[in-house]
Structure 1
Amino acid sequence: MTTEESILNKIQILITNHFETPQKAFEFFDEESDGKLTKREIVELLKQAQISGFLRGIVSSKLIEGYDRNGDELIDWEEFKAAIAKIKK
């Protein structure tokens, strides 16, 4: 299992075991309730998914880079759903 697969697996486990739906997970980590996850909020999600502190900053940047379709450097619900769909594959 690659590092990316391992990280995605840990995120999937977190969402599956602790939230009724991916949307509930999104809402939980959206601390500002603005419909978007900031890098800081994504880092908290990664922390809860037990991703090591060393990797959290790198992974959060890569997640934003890979899924932020509108270029605002945030992850909105639609972008989050796209990321979750990739995890489920």
Structure 2
Amino acid sequence: MKDGIHPNYRDVCFVDQSNGFKFVTRSTMGSKESIKLEDGREVPLIKLETTSESHPFYTGQQKSIDNLGGRVEKFRNKFAGFAKK
């Protein structure tokens, strides 16, 4: 490999701001902030709005639009006459 043309690929800590969940993985993302891990390493810190630990789809809290009190049926009944014109 040529020197100086590849991005810096290193360990980075990602933190979910909604619940504080942290995970370390390798990435080329840069950050001005850093965090000291339990093992003594200091790695760049990337803050995330949501991760698989807080997203409703992965936590099982996602709601289906059909289960919200028959809204879809109300809409279809209300506007059914417009489609027949």
TM over 0.5: no
Structure with more of its chain in strand, by fraction: 2
Query: Which structure is larger by alpha-carbon Rg, 1 or 2?
Result: 2
Structure with more of its chain in helix, by fraction: 1
Larger RCO: 1 or 2 (CA < 8 Å, sep 6+): 1
